[in-house]
C-alpha cells in the first residue's frame, strides 16, 4: 500500500514561496552583522532548580539510559526470537517506524539529546568502564591514541553509505532478525572502540547515527554553552575537557570555552557536572544561528553533509512506486539477477555522485563569475552548509509521514512484542491506519509543506551570509548556488507529491526481493 502524496495546492504554495524568496534575496543586500539573542535556561526563575538538578546530578541521564537500554534489549530478543513478520515484531516496528523516524524529529527540538542516552554507548561504557556495580571507577580500556589519519568523519561517511546499502538494498528494515543483528553489531563496534582507544572514538568519528545527529544539531534551537565566557578564559584546569576523579573527560574532547557549534557535542552532561564554577548551561537560540554564523566546516565534514543530502533523497526515491520497475529494467540490461544487489549498488553510487558533481560544477562556476582568488576548497567547504537545511527539512517531512501513518497500532505490537500467533497485516489494516492517524492528513500535509519552506529559507540565509563573507556578494555572482537550492528543494518537493510505499505494510517488501 502507498501513502498519498502532497496535494497540488501545497506544491504550488511551496514553489511560490521559493520563487518570491529567491528574487527578494538576490536583489536585497545581505546584512554585514546580525544580532542574535540567546536565552539561558538557568536564568529562567521557575525552571532554574530543575535545570540545575539536571546539570549537577547524573541520575536523570542514568534512568533514561536504563529505559533506552531496556527497549534495546527487547529489540534484540524480539528480533532473534520473535515472528519474522516485520509489521508484527517490535524489533522492526520500534527501530524503523518509531525510533529512527522520531530521532530526526527530536533533533528539531532537542539537538543531540539522543546521544546522551544512546544504548550502544551506554552498554559499551558499562562493559569497559563500569561505575554501576563498583564504588570506584574501573577502566578496562587500552587507552591507545587514535591514529591521526582516522581523526575525521570519513569512517562515519563510509558507515553511513554502508548502512543505507544494508537498509534499502539488503532489506534490513523488513527483517526483525537482521535488525537485531545490525543492532548487536553497533554495540560490538562501540565496545571494541572504547576498549582500544582513548575517549569515545566510535561516537566521535565512526557512528553514522551520531554524526547525522551532530550535523543536524547545528539547526537545533538548543545549545550547551558557557554562562560567562570570561570565566572560561580564566580557567586553567579545564575540567570540562579533562574530567575529574569521579567524572569522565569530554567523550569528544571539547573545550567548552571554545565551543561554537553542536556538531560533536553528545549532550552527555560531563562538562556541566565537572565544571567547578557551574558555568555551563543550556541555552535557547534561533534555529538558524549556528549554521548561518558560527559553523566552520572541514573537508571531510563537507563530504558528510553532501552525503546527507544525497542519501536522504535516495531514501525517498527507493520508496516511490516506480522504483522497483526502474531497478528491474536496469538489472535486465546489465544481466543482474537474484536480489539485484549490483543494480541497487550502482543506483546508490550514482545517487551520491550526482549531487556532488553538480555542486562541484556550480562552485567552479561561482568562482569563475566572481573572479575571486579564493581557493576552490575554501569555497567548496564554505558554501556546503546550504545543503544541511535542505536535507534536514526533507528528512523531517519524509520521516513524519512514516511516523504519523505507520506508527498507528504500535500499542498492539507492544502488547505482543514477539508477534506470537500474529498474522501478516492486511490491506484492510493499512486502510484503517489512515483513518486512525494521531494527526489528520490535512495537518500532516501542511506541516510537510511548512518544513520545506523552513529548510529553503534557512538555506537562503546561509547562502547570503556565506556569499557576503566569502565573496562580499550575496546576489547575482552566487546565482548558481541559488539555482542549486531551488533545484534540490524542488526535487524534494516533487518526491513528497508522489505516492510513497509504506516501510512496513501488507504489500511492503524489500525493493530487491
Residues of the chain above pLDDT 70, percent: 94
**So what's the pLDDT on residue 135?**
54
Total of domains in the chain: 2
CA 268 to chain CA centroid, nearest Å: 17
26 and 112 share one domain: yes
Q: Which of 204-208, 311-315, 322-326 has the lowest mean pLDDT?
A: 322-326
pLDDT digits (tens, 9 = 90+) for 397-416: 998 888 887 776 677 788 88
383 and 271 share one domain: no
426 and 380 share one domain: yes
Q: How confident is the model at residue 501 (pLDDT cuts 50, 70, 90)?
A: confident
Query: How far is Cα 461 from Cα 417, in angstroms, rounded to an integer?
Result: 46
Examine residue 509 and state whether it is found in any structural domain, yes or no.
Answer: no
Strands 39-40 and 280-284: antiparallel
341 and 357 share one domain: yes
Q: Which three cell numbers stand for residue 456?
A: 529553503
Examine residue 336 and state whether it is found in any structural domain, yes or no.
Answer: yes
274 and 337 share one domain: no
pTM over 0.85: yes
Q: Tell me the pLDDT of the chain averaged across its residues.
A: 88
* More reliable by pLDDT, 281 or 434: 281
**pLDDT higher than 60, residue 133:** no
Query: How far is Cα 399 from Cα 393, in angstroms, rounded to an integer?
Result: 10
Q: Which of 138-142, 388-392, 447-451 has the lowest mean pLDDT?
A: 138-142
Average pLDDT on 227-244 reads 89
Measure Cα distances from 327 to 170, 336, 345, 346, 464 in Å.
14, 10, 10, 10, 39
**pLDDT higher than 80, residue 31:** no
Q: Which three cell numbers stand for residue 265?
A: 557535542
Domain end, chosen from 227, 261, 290, is at: 290
Cβ atoms of residues 195 and 128 within 8 Å: yes
Average pLDDT on 28-51 reads 82
pLDDT digits (tens, 9 = 90+) for 143-169: 999 999 999 999 999 999 999 999 888
**pLDDT higher than 60, residue 511:** no
Q: How confident is the model at residue 509 (pLDDT cuts 50, 70, 90)?
A: very low
Domain end, chosen from 264, 290, 316, is at: 290
Q: Which of 289-293, 317-321, 388-392, 410-414 has the lowest mean pLDDT?
A: 410-414
Cβ atoms of residues 418 and 401 within 8 Å: no
Examine residue 506 and state whether it is found in any structural domain, yes or no.
Answer: no
340 and 469 share one domain: yes
* Domain interval for residue 220: 216-290
**pLDDT higher than 90, residue 56:** no
Average pLDDT on 215-220 reads 94
Amino acid at each position: 500500500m502507498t501513502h498519498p502524496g502532497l496535494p497540488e495546492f501545497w506544491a504550488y504554495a511551496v514553489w511560490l514561496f521559493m520563487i518570491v524568496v529567491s528574487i527578494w534575496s538576490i536583489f536585497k543586500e545581505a546584512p554585514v552583522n546580525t544580532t542574535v539573542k540567546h536565552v539561558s535556561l538557568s536564568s529562567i526563575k521557575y525552571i532554574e532548580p530543575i535545570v540545575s538538578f539536571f546539570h549537577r546530578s547524573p541520575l536523570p541521564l542514568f534512568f533514561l539510559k536504563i529505559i533506552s537500554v531496556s527497549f534495546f534489549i527487547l529489540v534484540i530478543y524480539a528480533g532473534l526470537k520473535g515472528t519474522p513478520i516485520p509489521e508484527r515484531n517490535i524489533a522492526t516496528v520500534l527501530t524503523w517506524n518509531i525510533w529512527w523516524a522520531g530521532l530526526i524529529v527530536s533533533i528539531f527540538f532537542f539537538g543531540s539529546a539522543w546521544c546522551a542516552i544512546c544504548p550502544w554507548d551506554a552498554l559499551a561504557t558499562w562493559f569497559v568502564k563500569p561505575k554501576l556495580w563498583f564504588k570506584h571507577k574501573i577502566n578496562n580500556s587500552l587507552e591507545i591514541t587514535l591514529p591521526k589519519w582516522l581523526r575525521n568523519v570519513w569512517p562515519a561517511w563510509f558507515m553511513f553509505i554502508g548502512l543505507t546499502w544494508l537498509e534499502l538494498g539488503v532489506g534490513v528494515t523488513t527483517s526483525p532478525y537482521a535488525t537485531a543483528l545490525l543492532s548487536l553489531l553497533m554495540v560490538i563496534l562501540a565496545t571494541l572502540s572504547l576498549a582500544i582507544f582513548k575517549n569515545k572514538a566510535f561516537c566521535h568519528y565512526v557512528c553514522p547515527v551520531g554524526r547525522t545527529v551532530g550535523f543536524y544539531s547545528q539547526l537545533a534551537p538548543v545549545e550547551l554553552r558557557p554562562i560567562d565566557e570570561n570565566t572560561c578564559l580564566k580557567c586553567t584546569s579545564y575540567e570540562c575537557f579533562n574530567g575529574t576523579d569521579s567524572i569522565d573527560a569530554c567523550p569528544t574532547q571539547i573545550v567548552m570555552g571554545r565551543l561554537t557549534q553542536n556538531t560533536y557535542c553528545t549532550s552527555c552532561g560531563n562538562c556541566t557536572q565537572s565544571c567547578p564554577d557551574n558555568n555551563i548551561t543550556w541555552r535557547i537560540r534561533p534555529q538558524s544561528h549556528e549554521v548561518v554564523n558560527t559553523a566552520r566546516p572541514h573537508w571531510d565534514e563537507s563530504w558528510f553533509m553532501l552525503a546527507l543530502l544525497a542519501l536522504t533523497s535516495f531514501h525517498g526515491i527507493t520508496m516511490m512506486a516506480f522504483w522497483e520497475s526502474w531497478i528491474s529494467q536496469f538489472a535486465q540490461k546489465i544481466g543482474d539477477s537474484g536480489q539485484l544487489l549490483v543494480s541497487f549498488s550502482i543506483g546508490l553510487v550514482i545517487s551520491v555522485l550526482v549531487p556532488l558533481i553538480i555542486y562541484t560544477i556550480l562552485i567552479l562556476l561561482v568562482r569563475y563569475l566572481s573572479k575571486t582568488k579564493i581557493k576552490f576548497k575554501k569555497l567548496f567547504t564554505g558554501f556546503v552548509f546550504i545543503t544541511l537545511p535542505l536535507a534536514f527539512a526533507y528528512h523531517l517531512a519524509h520521516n513524519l509521514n512514516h511516523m504519523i501513518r505507520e506508527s498507528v497500532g504500535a500499542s498492539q505490537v507492544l502488547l505482543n512484542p514477539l508477534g506470537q500467533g500474529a498474522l501478516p497485516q492486511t490491506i484492510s489494516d493499512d486502510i484503517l491506519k489512515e483513518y486512525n492517524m494521531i494527526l489528520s492528513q490535512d495537518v500532516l500535509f501542511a506541516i510537510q509543506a511548512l518544513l520545506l519552506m523552513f529548510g529553503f529559507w534557512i538555506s537562503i540565509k546561509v547562502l547570503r551570509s556565506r556569499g557576503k563573507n566569502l565573496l562580499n556578494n550575496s546576489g547575482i555572482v552566487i546565482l548558481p548556488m541559488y539555482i542549486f537550492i531551488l533545484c534540490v528543494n524542488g526535487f524534494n518537493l516533487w518526491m513528497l507529491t508522489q505516492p510513497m510505499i509504506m516501510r512496513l505494510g501488507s504489500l511492503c517488501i524489500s525493493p530487491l526481493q
